[in-house]
Amino acid sequence: MISNLDRPNHPAAVTQKNSRPTELGHFLSAGSYDLFVWILLLIYLLPVAYMVVLAFKSDAQLEDKHAPWYPAKRVTYTYQGQVFDMYHVPTQSGIRRLALAITDVKSSQFIDPLDSEARVINWNGDIDSLEPYYELSLTWENFTRQFSERPFPKMIGDTLLLVVISEIGVLISSILVGYGFARFRLPGGDLLFYVLIATILVPEKVTLIPTFFIYVNFFHWHGTIYPLIVSLFFGNAVFIFLLRQNFKSLPLDLEEAAMLDGAGTLRRLFSVVLPQSWPVVVTITLLQFFYTWNETRLVTLYVGPNPNFVPISYAVQMYASLRPIENAIEAANLVLLIIPVIFLMLSQRFFMRSMVITGMEKK
């Protein structure tokens, strides 16, 4: 008996045949997209990986043209109080690791470290054609030098102080303003919100000179951290936008129930709204942390004359500008500054959840 699916012209059979190429095409398109994303990610992370590898290299390795790409050092062999470099030497019995004792233009003499009698092995050929023998070796001197030459505990303490104050200021102000725009009908409130969003488009370079003139000539705050933190207590336009979008997406039922129970505005905000908004609050906290950690221009402009307050990013920049260029040391400096990036990668899920909750992925 022949079923309907076995008939070549049956609609179900035609649909089943047509679905297979569609599924295969979808699989290939998704796989191609994932491969493309991974390639872009590797290209983006390649300079960072090279910087990390360079930070663990020694100066001797940087000057060695035969050195491998990874942190390594030449393997040596000590014989009768003398130190000899090891090489990969081709012999009749294969490639052997031998110590170079005497070298000449056309011939060289090697010693086998595995030979208890240390007999000399003659080898004819150009010594420059041989590959030195290296082993993996991480150089921590690039980091220890920085901790010994600079007061890193104080620098980190100054940075954390600046981070804490800025976090408190920007969170309190942005949460209050964002909640006001989301829940209260103010006269001209929409216009005020649009003006606030428009300030995001104003480049910081435009306002740099006027704010510097006001802070220095009117308030005499040159050499203090006040110019870095005072403006944060008046909110951040980007953060206010994220918070407003998140607050507007929350249902009003719980707030109305709390209002019937006698809860005031601030009680509803901190007891009902914020517990449902932790992803966006964490996102704002992390973003402000990154901004403060990497801040160098304003610190140089306002706090530079004060030697008693030196954040870590400013100290790294000054260290690089006041000393001769050392590639390994510079790479170690940058490795210290990418610690927040690693922290961001570990907290990536908060950003993705915030994107959805704030409505940035809504059509």
pLDDT tens digits for range 91-132: 877 888 888 888 776 778 888 888 767 778 888 877 777 888
Angle subtended at Cα 320 by Cα 317 and Cα 321, rounded to the nearest 5 degrees: 85
pLDDT at residue 359 tops 50: no
- Using an 8 Å Cβ cutoff, are 98 and 111 in contact? yes
DSSP helix/strand/coil, 43:
helix
Lookup: tokens for 82: 């003398």
- pLDDT value for 241: 92
Residue of 164, 163, 157, 166 whose CA lies nearest to 310 = 157
- Using an 8 Å Cβ cutoff, are 335 and 147 in contact? no
- pLDDT value for 30: 66
- pLDDT value for 2: 47
Average the pLDDT over 20-37 and give the result: 68
147-152: long-range contacts (C-beta < 8 A, 24 or more apart)? 150/315, 150/319, 151/310, 152/312
pLDDT tens digits for range 269-322: 888 888 888 888 988 888 898 888 888 888 888 887 777 888 888 877 776 666
- pLDDT value for 214: 92
- Using an 8 Å Cβ cutoff, are 197 and 241 in contact? yes
The β-bridge relationship of strands 76-79 and 107-111 is unpaired
Distance separating alpha carbons of residues 42 and 34, to the nearest angstrom: 12
- pLDDT value for 362: 41
The β-bridge relationship of strands 76-79 and 72-74 is unpaired
User: Residue 107 belongs to what H/E stretch?
Assistant: strand 107-111
pLDDT at residue 51 tops 60: yes
Average the pLDDT over 192-217 and give the result: 89
Q: How does the average pLDDT of the chain come out, rounded? A: 79
pLDDT tens digits for range 317-345: 776 666 656 666 667 777 777 777 676 66
- Kindly provide the residue ranges of all beta strands, DSSP E only, lying in the chain, ordered along the sequence: 72-74, 76-79, 82-91, 94-103, 107-111, 120-124, 131-132, 134-136
Distance of CA 134 to the CA centre of its chain: 31
- Using an 8 Å Cβ cutoff, are 224 and 162 in contact? no
Task: Please report the DSSP string for 129-147 in residue order.
Answer: GSEEPEEE----HHHHHHH
Distance separating alpha carbons of residues 319 and 232, to the nearest angstrom: 28
Average the pLDDT over 205-212 and give the result: 89
Distance separating alpha carbons of residues 360 and 352, to the nearest angstrom: 10
- pLDDT value for 165: 94
Of the pLDDT bands very low, low, confident and very high (cuts 50, 70, 90), residue 243 is: very high
- pLDDT value for 20: 53
